[in-house]
Amino acid sequence: MPVVNRLKIVGVMGSGTEPFTELAQAAGEAVAESGCHLLTGAGAGVMHAAAQAFVQSRNRKGLSLGIVRAHSLPMLHGSSRAWEPMAPINDYVELPIKTHLPESGERGQDFYSRNHINVLTSDAVVVLPGNAGTKTELDLALQYGRPTILFLGKHRLHGRTAADLQEQHPGRLQIANDKTDLSACLRRALEFRSPE
């Protein structure tokens, strides 16, 4: 039986409203150059900017995956209610994975949040600036033991700098300051993470 050589998956997490374009583009390009799939939440902001840079990168091997949040729990509204996404799926998601999970933001660690899927599916997680929802993805990445890289630049994650967060979680976070740093951090993170 042939052995499947599965590409690893890098999740890029960040603001769903602000694109933080320079950081998101660098993240998308770094993931493409790493030979991995990109995973985002399929929406706007950082998700859109990172996916666009990834898809437009030359010689990429992976696909742009998007974990789509539902507008509400269909099961609570009866089977006659059609499933619908919370927001439009961005144009750079090649493989949308539609969930029934509506929670996000400060409720991003709740049972009905797609953030668990975002993190658990990722072999490594890159965290860009964002607010409460992105912070819950960071917390889940640490809880689930995913290699985690902060790529905040001069910005903050839910009011905290990269140095603040690294001090709060000693030895558990890498900080990347630019695309070169990020590529090196990804190589280290992925080298020790075998596919499950």
- Is 138 within 8 Å of 13 (Cβ atoms)? yes
Closest C-alpha to 62, from 186, 188, 192: 186
CATH of 9-191, one of 3.30.300.10, 3.40.50.450, 3.30.930.10, 3.40.830.10: 3.40.50.450
**pLDDT higher for 81 or 108?**
108
**Separation between Cα atoms, residue 32 and residue 126, nearest integer Å:** 13
The pLDDT tens digits of the residues spanning 22-78 come to 999 999 999 999 999 999 999 999 999 999 999 999 999 999 999 999 887 665 555
The DSSP secondary structure of 132-156, one letter per residue, reads HHHHHHHHHHHHTT--EEE--TT--
**What average pLDDT does range 97-124 have in this prediction?**
95
DSSP single-letter state for residue 105: G
Q: Which amino acid is at 156?
A: R
Domain limits, the chain: 9-191
CA 23 to chain centre: 13
Which band of pLDDT confidence, cut at 50, 70 and 90, is reported for residue 80?
very low
Give the per-residue pLDDT at 42.
96
Spatial distance between the Cα atoms of 99 and 113, rounded to a whole number of angstroms: 9
